[in-house]
Copies of this chain bind each other. A is one copy, B any other.
Amino acid sequence: MIPYNAPIQDMRFTLNHVVGLPKVAELPGFDAVTPDLVDAVLEEAGKLARDVLAPLNWVGDQEGATLENGVVRTATGFRDAYLKYVEGGWNSVPFSPDYGGQGLPWTLALPIQEMWQSANMSFSLCPMLNQGAVELLTAHGSEEQKRLYLEKMITGEWTGTMNLTEPQAGSDVGAVRTKAVPQGDGSYRISGQKIYITFGEHDFTDNIIHLVLARTPTAPAGIKGISLFVVPKFLVNADGSLGDRNDLRCAGLEHKLGIHASPTAVMAYGDNDACVGYLVGEENRGIEYMFTMMNNARLGVGMQGVAIAERAYQQARDYAKGRVQSRALTGKDPNPVAIINHPDVRRMLLSMKSQVEAARALAYLTAFALDNAHNNPDAEARKHYAGLNDLLTPICKAWCTDLGVELTSIGVQVHGGMGFIEETGAAQHFRDARIAPIYEGTNGIQANDLVFRKVIRDGGAAAFALLADIKNVAAQAKDGPGDDLATIGTNLQAAAHAVEQATTWLLEAGKADPVAAASGAVNYLRMFGVTIGGYLTAKGMMAAVEQQRDPSADHKFLDAKLVTGRFYADQVLPTTLGLLKPIVEGHRSVMALAEDQF
């Protein structure tokens, strides 16, 4: 199995020179974020990812998680790995110091999360879902809830889960039917079935804190009648010790295409009408609370797309360097060469590398916007960055996870026949990657969110502001120095112009004909994603050119940044030109067939 090594040099370059981690470090609350700390944290996380989590990835795929008599056993080594992860303090990185967290910015927490995801996507889901639960309780829990549950969820002594979906309530979370009946003692009796509950049951910790969406007897219908409850696996006594087993159980584990080591549970609440839950915040505000964590969870899933593509890239690259097959296309040497020397294999590898780096920068930029939206001392700046974060989040979630599928597929292809053999490991990444465009809001839903809530609602203000910035960068790059910068400047300008035209069209169409706007949404999101990727790539190239002036810099790395960016400019950015017509004209046929004509 080819090992995983965190791409720390690219991460650090992107953080410091493309996205602006140093600016985040200047924000109030983040003074601990010194360059030394950043280095130490990235290095140490990289070691845990490489030495502990990555070696379990294949075992986890083969063994999966198993359910027997209501008990879920995770794959060999996973529990130990979790304990090491908790022992290292990794679980508390981004959380509030008020409850024992380290309070580091998301801009730094995200690259760390990326490492867990690359190393072992299944494993990384447990902390990721816990993170959502922590954010919810931090924002909306009572002081007692925080003391009883939150602190242990931050250390990692217990884990949290998110229980939204039911068989009839997937994308339409308003259709939730799980019941919560008040008992007069402040608690509620919970009953219902939840599906797709990630790490809904496991053997990592003594307790699991479920956050469950349910409906009280007097709740209004639909999305406005949903409340949020804490439902612990074991009830917790006032002194924090474990009490009785609650009336909830894992009723089944799904048999999935990928992420086999992540137990996806069917959860049954209240089989014996004795499941105790506690209201979080106020009744009927559950969906509103969910939005607290939604952007962040979507950012985390977008990061997964990048992370799994990075892992697939490393796998394909190392295979291509080692596999000897066929003579070189040019020259007279009849001896076979490593396949990395064949032009189409190179093209595939650069296609992976250039898009992984662009998408990574987009994910980190989204985190940067999030930190500024929360911690920037200037109210105007907070508002600006909140708008940017809102705009970027669906793009990051959908574009990066689509790339995850596409690039892991290229990774399989680089291997030839060996790519189809499971033991190689490339196929697992392809299977694992396939969930990310689906969960945490399908990519179709992300596209609608982008078009209707993030672009049309503010009359395109946030989109045009970002496009203005993109055009500035393109104009700067066009001036060079050098052909690589000039090329990305030119092609970025053309891409930005296409996004502008599409945006203008959407603003018109969205009013007159929402179906037309919705029909073009996925292509619009992709076009925007590719363009933002080009913008961040151009920024990275300009920074690289700047640094090349220093003779002591790592020129091999900087030169590679320019070639990789040039590839993105030549081969990726122009695909936006093929998307404009599908957006502005493609809607005409989308709804034109009757159902029985399909």
Could you write out 6 A-B pairs with CB less than 8 Å apart? A175-B336, A321-B598, A330-B514, A343-B587, A346-B593, A575-B582
Copies per assembly: 2
Having A172-B326, A350-B589, one finds 5 other A-B pairs with CB under 8 Å, namely A170-B325, A566-B592, A570-B588, A574-B582, A575-B578
Give Cα A222 to B557, complex, Å: 39
Contact of A422 among B256, B514, B591 (CB under 8 A): B256
Q: Does A187 contact B (CB under 8 A)?
A: no
The 5 residue pairs across chains A and B that have the minimum distance between CB atoms: A578-B578, A574-B581, A344-B444, A575-B578, A343-B518
Contact present for B413 and A437 (CB under 8 Å) = yes
Contact present for B566 and A256 (CB under 8 Å) = no
Q: Which residue of chain B lies nearest to A491 when distances are taken between CB atoms in the complex?
A: B581
Q: Does A112 contact B (CB under 8 A)?
A: no
Query: Could you say which residues of chain B place their CB within 8 Å of the CB of A419?
Result: 438
Q: Does A98 contact B (CB under 8 A)?
A: no
Contact present for A344 and B255 (CB under 8 Å) = no
Give Cα A128 to B255, complex, Å: 31
Instruction: Report A418-452 residues with CB < 8 Å from chain B CB.
Output: 419-423, 427, 430-431, 434-435, 437-439, 442-444, 447-448
Query: Could you say which residues of chain B place their CB within 8 Å of the CB of A586?
Result: 347, 567, 570-571
Contact of A257 among B347, B420, B596 (CB under 8 A): B420
Q: Does A597 contact B (CB under 8 A)?
A: yes
Q: Does A576 contact B (CB under 8 A)?
A: yes
Instruction: Report A528-576 residues with CB < 8 Å from chain B CB.
Output: 556-557, 559-560, 563-564, 566-567, 570-572, 574-576
Q: Which residue of chain B lies nearest to A336 when distances are taken between CB atoms in the complex?
A: B172
Contact present for B567 and A256 (CB under 8 Å) = no
Query: For chain A, what secondary structure do more than half of its interface residues adopt (helix, strand, loop), or is it mixed?
Result: helix
On chain A, the number of residues with a Cβ less than 8 Å from chain B's Cβ atoms is 103
Q: Does A45 contact B (CB under 8 A)?
A: no
Query: Could you say which residues of chain B place their CB within 8 Å of the CB of A340?
Result: 595, 598
Query: Could you say which residues of chain B place their CB within 8 Å of the CB of A596?
Result: 556
Give Cα A282 to B447, complex, Å: 61
Query: Could you say which residues of chain B place their CB within 8 Å of the CB of A438?
Result: 412-413, 416-417, 419-420
Contact present for A563 and B417 (CB under 8 Å) = no
Query: Could you say which residues of chain B place their CB within 8 Å of the CB of A423?
Result: 255
Q: Does A136 contact B (CB under 8 A)?
A: no
Q: Does A317 contact B (CB under 8 A)?
A: yes
